[in-house]
Amino acid sequence: MILVEAVDRIGTVCQISVAHPLAEAPRALEFFAGIGLARLGLEAAGFRVVWSNDYQPDKQAMYAGNFGESAGHKFVLGDVRRVSGQDLPGGAALAWASSPCIDLSLAGARAGLRGTESSTFWEYIRVLEELGHDRPPVAVLENVVGLATSHGGEDLAMAIKAFNGLGYSVDVLAIDARRFVPQSRPRLFLVGAQTPPPESRQDRSELRPDWLWRVFGDPTLRTHRARLPAPPTPLMSGLSLCVEAMPLSDGRWWDGNQTRCLVESLSPVQRRRVAQLRRASGVSYRTAYRRTRQGVAVWEVRPDDIAGCLRTARGGFVQAGRRAVGQQSPASAVDDAARVRNPDGR
Ligand SMILES: C[S@@+](CC[C@H](N)C(=O)[O-])C[C@H]1O[C@@H](n2cnc3c(N)ncnc32)[C@H](O)[C@@H]1O
């Protein structure tokens, strides 16, 4: 859903009309498609995704489960290194890439855009270059905010220069998904436009925080700042409304032992947080994350009713647990704290 909003705004910013019926809708190419979350947003914003690529068969299967087969769309399963510009359908208005973040993530070794995984960004640039005159007028890169600081900002500058070399001026935005959905997931967007939209007169936008500002002042980079509407305020709640109801007999609930281990690893502050929730009436939901503190694995519970996003080397949600904490729920009988659903769904 974040993408719906983000793309909608970016679509507006880039002055691409998105009001056409689907058959005439502007066409989009989807690099690093995964399970198709970018496509969800792009299509909701009026684009028609005509080509997608990813190299993981399990993701392709999920993608197919999400979208099925559709005429006029091709999913190419394979390494982006083997994709050639000539293989792509022509006439695309937009190219979108959600390229791998592993080497840019704050939790990783931070090899940056030279890293084994994140260097696939350069394949995106290569394919755009090979498209020549058929290069889409707008090209987007989505990645983690760690791209902005990787190698002291050099990687971000290199990425902008690469777009510049292909004729794109670049806007740079940082958007946290929690402005739209109850999950904190900060992401960086580079929006390359061959014809930049009218400049913003805003000195500052919440979407261009101070730490991004230096790219706009760098005379070696061709950048612009599109006029943007004020973004929605970040959410502090809403996770509870998305939680899937699950009977206590479901095997994904942790047993008493696992739950006890979690509770015992909580710091006094964290324990008080959970205890306070349990004293309140009704059922509350919180996400918990396993972290290493001074060499010891501990769980930490978020104070708010939104999900977080771990900065792990592989990104994502890998060790998040969802807690349902309720004084009067049958769950409170499970053991002394809460019922806890296994994050891996096991
Ligand atoms: C950050 S994820 C993008 C997730 C996507 N937005 C989704 O909805 O699932 C990066 C994706 O790049 C894919 N990928 C990584 N290296 C690749 C390569 N060499 N060729 C093609 N796809 C690759 C991964 O399989 C992963 O799905």
d(CA 216, CA 43): 30
Q: What is the pLDDT of residue 172?
A: 96
Spatial distance between the Cα atoms of 89 and 258, rounded to a whole number of angstroms: 51
Residue 137 sits at φ, ψ, to 5 deg, of -65, -20
Which CATH number do you get for residue 149? Answer: 3.40.50.150
Q: What is the pTM of this model?
A: 0.82
In a domain, 226, yes or no: no
> What's the pLDDT score for residue 217?
92
228: in domain = no
Judge whether 188 and 142 are in contact, CB under 8 Å.
Answer: yes
Distance 325 CA to ligand 1 centre (A): 35
Distance in Å, CA 32 to ligand 1 centroid: 4
Q: Is ligand 1 within 6 A of the CB of residue 120?
A: yes
Q: Are residues 157 and 17 in the same domain?
A: yes
Q: Distance, CA 287 to ligand 1 centroid (Å)?
A: 26
Burial of 58 (0-12, 13-18, 19+ CB in 10 A): exposed
Q: Identify whether 232 is part of a domain.
A: no
Q: Identify the domain boundary among 217, 249, 266.
A: 217
Identify the domain containing residue 248 by its residue range.
Answer: 239-341
Query: Does one domain contain both 184 and 39?
Result: yes
Q: Which parts of the chain have pLDDT scores under 50? A: 1-20, 312-340, 342-346
- pLDDT for 337 equals 32
- For the CA of 123, the nearest atom of ligand 1: 19
Judgement on whether residues 136 and 203 belong to the same structural domain of the protein: yes
54 lines ligand 1 (CB under 6 A): yes
Ligand 1 centre to CA of 100 (Å) is 6
pLDDT tens-digit map of 207-220:
999 899 899 999 99
Indicate if 193 and 320 belong to the same structural domain: no
